[in-house]
């Protein structure tokens, strides 16, 4: 059987996510993000269309890098206002049975003990459909909000994250034995104390002496996602991630990242295919190329250049308004998403300018849309999977919900005809669906913290 392609819908609990300005399109419904019915309808739509999951981004600060002000972000709804993504999950889980939930949570600002409980709760309530996109953030505004002068240096954030992971693995994997819960009404015995163990972690950043508060959930550790592909980010991914989210405009660049992360994982005793890689993509499609092109021209009228620059400035950590239109942008000292800067260097050459950047943002972000008929989209997807080794795609929204309806009605059936997409969900938790096993495999570093029986 040919390799199956995976799809996640890529969104955020906000109005303007990636393609900035499209919320102003008359058919776009993203302004309803603060109503529960919007999300339950969304989840049902995706599940009917056999999407693997919904992947929710998050930031915990405002975008105030462009002109050193939050005003452009507020004007253009550039990922602000932004509500908590985790709160959406139980509502969406209640109306679906199979859809996975990849939720971004920044580990910098929350104690691992409390976070471990929140994720375990979601794993219980979803029947094991929760994934965690592990991020360390890229915004000084977030650090200032919780009393720091600015964020930690780029690589130091990953060091902190390594220790954080050790703590949460100990809690999820090592505190409760599988048969600790007896639930014997007659004996008045709920949990066997001998099978519930306190975690003792005394590290550089964290100190925990406690029993994990949740009984074992279907997956124990959530499915672990990571996005960020600097050298340090790749090493972190190779160590912890089961799904990696990459962006990239050139196949060679993406292919290099994919094979490097898999090689690094193998060096750590994992298997290359223990990691599934999802490529970020924006697709505008129709029955014919002309229909797709007309749709794109219609969408384009609503793009906001200021909002697009606001987002790019924050994610790259560069105030583009300090540069003239044709002056090369100085990128050297960024502490933000360095892989985004590298990708821009690759796409436009090292001497790129604000004008070049804006020319790239044709639909409101640096992610160029594929504008093509459904047949052409299928060919494009297959070509990227074959040449880069990615396993699937995180599909950014354009005009919601029609952008996902197009994928469901036009693209997925064509992939199915070619045997490249499932025709029904398989059973079990999210990890089981993706990797054939509900728990972390023994060769994953998290498994080394498993409680030893007897
Ligand atoms: C495709 C992609 C998506 C990301 N999504 C988020 C996000 O939703 N929230 C967040 O705080 N950081 C996000 N990040 C940032 C990274 O997770 C990471 O913490 C950091 O910025 C360092 O990235 P680097 O290793 O590529 O330099 C994303 C990065 C990439 C490349």
Ligand 1-lining residues (CB < 6 angstroms): 57-59, 104, 106, 135-138, 154, 227-230, 233, 245, 247, 280, 337-339
- CA–CA separation, 163 vs 409, rounded Å? 44
Enumerate the H helices of 288-401 as residue ranges: 289-300, 305-316, 338-348, 354-360, 374-388
Ligand 1 atom with least separation from CA of 57? 8
Distance 137 CA to ligand 1 centre (A): 7
Distance 228 CA to ligand 1 centre (A): 5
The predicted structure's pLDDT at residue 406: 98
Report helix, strand or coil for 191.
strand
Query: Are the C-beta atoms of residues 99 and 126 closer than 8 Å to each other?
Result: no
Distance 175 CA to ligand 1 centre (A): 30
Distance 193 CA to ligand 1 centre (A): 40
Cis before 261? omega within 30? no
Distance 169 CA to ligand 1 centre (A): 22
- CA–CA separation, 313 vs 292, rounded Å? 30
Burial class (CB in 10 A: 0-12, 13-18, 19+), 202: exposed
- CA–CA separation, 2 vs 149, rounded Å? 51
Which domains occur in the chain, in start order?
6-179+194-303+369-449 (3.20.20.30)
Closest CA to 82 of 282, 311, 302: 311
Pairing relation of β-strands 243-246 and 276-286?
parallel
pLDDT in tens, the chain (454 residues): 678 999 999 999 999 999 999 999 999 999 999 999 999 999 999 999 999 999 999 999 999 999 999 999 999 999 999 999 999 999 999 999 999 999 999 999 999 999 999 999 999 999 999 999 999 998 999 999 999 988 888 889 999 999 999 999 999 999 999 999 999 999 999 999 999 999 999 999 999 999 999 999 999 999 999 997 889 999 999 999 999 999 987 899 999 999 999 999 999 999 999 999 999 999 999 999 999 999 999 999 999 999 999 999 999 999 999 999 999 998 877 777 787 888 788 778 888 999 999 999 999 999 999 999 999 999 999 999 999 999 999 999 999 999 999 999 999 999 999 999 999 999 999 999 999 999 999 999 999 999 865 4
Distance 184 CA to ligand 1 centre (A): 46
Distance 340 CA to ligand 1 centre (A): 9
* DSSP state, residue 444: S
DSSP string, 225-279: EEE--SHHHHHHHHHH-SEEEE--SSHHHHHHHHHHHHHHHHHTT--GGG-EEEE
- Determine phi and psi for 276, rounding to 5 degrees: -100, 135
Closest CA to 390 of 52, 53, 102, 5: 5
The predicted structure's pLDDT at residue 103: 98
Residues shown for the chain: 454
Ligand 1 atom with least separation from CA of 315? 21
Residue nearest to atom 3 of ligand 1 (CA): 227
Ligand 1 atom with least separation from CA of 106? 11
* DSSP state, residue 379: H
Residue nearest to atom 26 of ligand 1 (CA): 228
Distance 226 CA to ligand 1 centre (A): 8
**Residue keyed to tokens 């739509």:** 45
Give the side-chain half-sphere CA count within 13 A for 275.
34
Distance 208 CA to ligand 1 centre (A): 27
Ligand 1 atom with least separation from CA of 280? 1
What is the interface pTM, i.e. ipTM, of the complex? 0.96
Ligand 1 probe mutation, 227, 247, 279, 346, most atoms within 8 A of CB: 227
Ligand 1 probe mutation, 337, 343, 392, 393, most atoms within 8 A of CB: 337
The predicted structure's pLDDT at residue 454: 47
Distances (CA, A) of 75 to 63, 78, 396: 11, 8, 22
Residue nearest to atom 18 of ligand 1 (CA): 228
């Amino acid at each position: 059987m040919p390799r199956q392609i995976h799809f996640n819908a890529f969104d955020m609990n906000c109005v303007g996510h990636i393609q900035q300005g499209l919320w102003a399109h008359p058919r776009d419904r993203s302004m309803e993000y603060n109503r529960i019915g919007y999300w339950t309808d969304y989840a049902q739509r995706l599940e009917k269309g056999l999407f693997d999951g919904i992947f929710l981004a998050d930031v915990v600060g405002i975008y105030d890098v462009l002109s050193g002000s939050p005003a452009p972000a507020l004007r253009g709804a550039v990922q602000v206002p932004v509500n908590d993504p985790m709160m959406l999950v139980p509502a969406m889980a209640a109306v679906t049975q199979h859809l996975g939930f990849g939720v971004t949570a920044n580990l910098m600002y929350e104690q691992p003990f409390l976070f471990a409980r929140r994720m375990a709760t979601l794993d219980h309530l979803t029947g094991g459909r929760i994934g965690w996109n592990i991020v360390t953030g890229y915004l000084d505004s977030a650090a200032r909000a919780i009393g720091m002068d600015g964020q930690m240096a780029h690589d130091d954030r990953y060091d902190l994250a390594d220790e954080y992971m050790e703590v949460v693995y100990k809690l999820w994997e090592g505190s409760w034995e599988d048969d600790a819960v007896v639930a014997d009404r007659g004996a008045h015995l709920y949990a066997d104390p001998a099978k519930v163990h306190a975690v003792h972690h005394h590290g550089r950043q964290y100190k925990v002496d406690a029993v994990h508060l949740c009984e074992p959930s279907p997956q124990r550790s959530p499915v672990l996602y990571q996005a960020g592909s600097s050298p340090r980010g790749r090493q972190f991914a190779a160590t912890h991630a089961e799904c990696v989210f990459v962006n990239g405009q050139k196949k060679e660049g993406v292919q290099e990242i994919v094979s490097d992360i898999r090689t690094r994982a193998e060096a750590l005793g994992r298997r290359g295919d223990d990691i599934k890689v999802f490529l970020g993509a924006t697709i505008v499609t129709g029955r014919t190329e002309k229909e797709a092109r007309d749709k794109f021209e219609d969408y384009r009228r609503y793009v906001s250049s200021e909002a697009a620059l606001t987002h790019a400035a924050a994610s790259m950590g560069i105030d583009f308004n300090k540069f003239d239109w044709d002056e090369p942008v100085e990128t050297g000292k960024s502490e933000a998403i360095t892989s985004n800067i590298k990708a821009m260097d690759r796409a436009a050459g090292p001497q790129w300018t604000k004008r070049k950047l804006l020319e790239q943002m044709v639909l409101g972000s640096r992610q160029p849309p594929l504008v093509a008929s459904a047949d052409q989209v299928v060919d494009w997807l297959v070509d990227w999977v074959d040449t880069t080794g990615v396993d699937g795609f995180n599909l950014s929204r354009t005009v919601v919900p029609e952008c996902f309806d197009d994928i469901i009605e036009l693209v997925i059936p064509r992939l199915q005809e070619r045997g490249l997409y499932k025709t029904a969900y398989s059973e079990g938790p999210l990890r089981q669906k993706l990797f054939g096993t509900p728990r972390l495999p023994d060769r994953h570093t998290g498994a080394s913290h498993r409680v030893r029986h007897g």
